[in-house]
Amino acid sequence: MDAEVVVKVGVVLAVLVALWVAADWQRYRRRAVRLGRALHLVDPPPPTPDGPPIEQLAATAERLRSTVRHAPPGTPVARLRGWQAAYDDVLAAACRCLDLEHRLRDLPEGPQRDLERERVERLLVAHGLLLRPPA
């Protein structure tokens, strides 16, 4: 009879523990995964990307390139420089995403940066991020 009581108490306790864990399953699951990662039993989480998605970078680059190239006459120089700086930032971010080398931030404003910008544009066209500009 004592063995029956022990088994019944064990079953009741098991059911109570299962209900306790089920009520807060996500927290216990996170703890188990964290412990598994600490013991190298579970793969590390995949890296999270820095910055916007590549599709958004491509759309922004196309929009800014069109804005800079088709600026209406009489547009203030400060606005044009701002658009150009934003375009350079987007090109640099796209290069970072694709692991391409660039020097857009290293070069001073002027002909050298213009040549580097054109080189980066050609690289991004070759990698399919930018569309070819109309001839």
CA distance 92 to 82: 15
pTM for this predicted structure? 0.65
User: What letter represents residue 3's amino acid?
Assistant: A
What residue segments make up the domains of the chain, in order of their start?
2-38, 54-126
pLDDT for position 93: 93
Handedness of CA 87, 89, 91, 93 (dihedral sign): negative
pLDDT for position 112: 93
List, as own/partner pairs, every contact residues 50-57 make where C-beta atoms lie below 8 angstroms and the sequence separation is at least 24, other chains included: 50/96, 51/93, 51/96, 51/97, 52/93, 54/94, 54/97, 54/98, 54/129, 57/90, 57/93, 57/94, 57/97, 57/129
| Average pLDDT, consecutive stretches of 10 residues, N- to C-terminus, the chain (135 residues) | 86 89 86 89 82 90 92 92 94 91 90 93 90 69
pLDDT for position 76: 94
pLDDT for position 134: 59
